[in-house]
Structure 1
Amino acid sequence: MRTSPVRQRGFTLIELMVAIGILALVALLSWRGLDAMVRVQQGTQNRSDQIAVVQTALAQWRVDLDAMLPGAGGKQPVLDWDGRTLRVLRLASPETQTATEAGAGQAQQSLWTPATVVVAWTLRSACPRSLADASSGEAANGAAPGPCWMRWQSPQLRTHGEQQQAWQQAASWGSGAQGEAAGSQVMLPLQAWEVLGYRDDVWGPVKGLPVGNAPAGGTGGTGGTGDTGGIGGAGGASSGTPGAAPNPVPDGLRLQLTLPGQGTGIAGSLTVDWLQPTLTRERS
């Protein structure tokens, strides 16, 4: 008895094309899903980086104010806000150690002498390209950087004359006369900013706050620099009255920032309050 051979049947061309089409569709959907996940991850990382930049800038802002020199009775203003630039005279960090000779035949002694620096904060309508590229690491499509918040710091200062010179240099830098001066640093993109002062339970302009028992016309001391509007300086007042009490440093400062949003992913207004670390208030 003969048996018929088993017929082996393979896939037809149409079946192969259908299978390949299904595999291609699955691969396309998988790729689009992975691409969406990568985009979301990149967006989250970029936003986290931008938030970190804002936090770093605000941390530096607080450090500068916390290290500000006491303004009572000083010859040099320690704080000034002219509506565009904020200048602060603060302690340098860390302090610089200097060595002096005690005399012949005696060992050399090391004395800690506190150094000071002048810092300034301002808003530039257009960031200097080199500083912006160095800060962000890239320029967007080669376009000119937009408005940004910038900080300048002087070298360490030892004498009152050096403080006066650095104070004037900070004002010149804030007006844009010095351009990309040494010590300049881009902090973050910013659309606008404002600074208010707090004194006697009132928030208001830094130069127009109540001054307690200060004589009339005794605000805005010049501090001997020929620079009006300084706070905490001694000497004549803005009215020219000799010996008038200077405008004391406010008990607190309110920083109001308007973030640009375009190209940064962070938009809206941000308000940060700072109070003097030594401020005390009696409980009622």
Structure 2
Amino acid sequence: MRTRTSAGGFTLIELLVAIAAMALLALMSWRGIDGMTRAQAQTQARGDAVLTLQTTLSQWSTDLDATVTLTQLRPIEWNGSVLRLTRRNADNTLPALYVVAWALHTDAAGATQWQRWQSPAIVTRAEWQQAWDRAGAWGQEGVVAGGSALSLIPLASWQLAYFQGGVWTEAVSSEANTIPEGIRLVLQLPPGASLTGTLTRDWVRPTAATPKT
């Protein structure tokens, strides 16, 4: 007698279960990849922000190190919102000076940015006075003819303190005819950015006789 055997295969329910399981695995895999991508992007953004901050603070220190005291020329002035200073040429190969200003401005997108302005090379006192006045106008208005401005880092606020005679004093509305022995920079980084919180950096004048602590 011949026995009839049934053909092997999957039922419709088994196929639906298999498809659902595969869809669930695909969803879990996608979420894992998406999480890794987001984490990588955040790490990259934070790394870029740290590098930009380091470059900005390096420029800040370089400007202060190069600040000069000359007859009838103010070396540095802080009015509570704008810092202006007179600095020498970086490589000392030309008898030229520059006026530099640091200030907080709002960009076209509505974000507050810490910015730096630098005048063209100066060789006469008249040119210095013109550049000094332009630096003040740029600090208040954000736009001025001549010179070059550069946006550096997002910033909520900033303050300065001077170190003189062994003590730190708030530098609000201060005009110095000499370069302070030290300058304390306090930056308030905005919330929601790659870097946030309060950052304090102390600068000591290279020729100061005080311990660098």
Please, what TM-score do these two structures have when normalized by structure 1?
A: 0.68
Inter-partner Cα distance in structure 2 for 1:168 and 1:267:
33
Inter-partner Cα distance in structure 1 for 2:47 and 2:132:
36
- Aligned residues: CA RMSD: 2.3
Q: Given the alignment, which residue of 168, 185, 206 partners 1:255? A: 185
Aligned to 2:155: 190
Residue identity matched to 1:25: L
1:88 aligns with 2:85: yes
Inter-partner Cα distance in structure 2 for 1:206 and 1:45:
36
Render the CA deviation track for 1:214-269: whole Å, top value 9, x for unaligned. xxxxxx8xxxxxxxx3x33xxxxxxxxxxxxxxx321000011111113x132221
Residue 8 of structure 1: how far off its partner (Å): 3.4
Aligned to 2:207: 278
Please, what TM-score do these two structures have when normalized by structure 2?
A: 0.89
Residue identity matched to 1:252: G
Note closer, same or farther for the CA distance 1:252–1:94 as it changes in structure 2 (3 Å cut).
Answer: same
1:172 aligns with 2:101: no
Contact 2:101 2:139 in 1 (8 A): yes
Which structure's CA Rg is the greater one? 1
Which has more strand, going by share of residues?
2
Render the CA deviation track for 1:117-156: whole Å, top value 9, x for unaligned. 11000112x22x2xxxxxxxxxxxxxx3222211100011
Aligned to 2:26: 27
Inter-partner Cα distance in structure 1 for 2:188 and 2:160:
12
Note closer, same or farther for the CA distance 1:200–1:271 as it changes in structure 2 (3 Å cut).
Answer: same
Inter-partner Cα distance in structure 2 for 1:180 and 1:194:
27
Instruction: Figure out how many residues of one structure are paired with residues of the other and give that number.
Output: 211
Inter-partner Cα distance in structure 2 for 1:91 and 1:206:
23
Identity of aligned residues (%): 39
Inter-partner Cα distance in structure 1 for 2:202 and 2:170:
14
Q: Given the alignment, which residue of 100, 103, 115 partners 1:150? A: 115
Residue 207 of structure 1: how far off its partner (Å): 7.2
Contact 2:182 2:204 in 1 (8 A): yes
Inter-partner Cα distance in structure 1 for 2:45 and 2:156:
19
Residue 276 of structure 1: how far off its partner (Å): 0.8
Q: Given the alignment, which residue of 73, 85, 91 partners 1:76? A: 73
Render the CA deviation track for 1:176-199: whole Å, top value 9, x for unaligned. 174586411111111111111001
Inter-partner Cα distance in structure 2 for 1:159 and 1:258:
37
Residue identity matched to 1:60: Q
- Give the gaps of 5 or more residues in structure 1: 96-111, 130-143, 209-219, 221-228, 233-247
SS of alignment partner, residue 175 of structure 1: helix
- Give the gaps of 5 or more residues in structure 2: none
1:45 aligns with 2:44: yes
Contact 1:192 1:258 in 2 (8 A): yes
Inter-partner Cα distance in structure 2 for 1:45 and 1:80:
37
Residue identity matched to 2:168: W
Residue identity matched to 1:23: M
Residue 161 of structure 1: how far off its partner (Å): 2.1
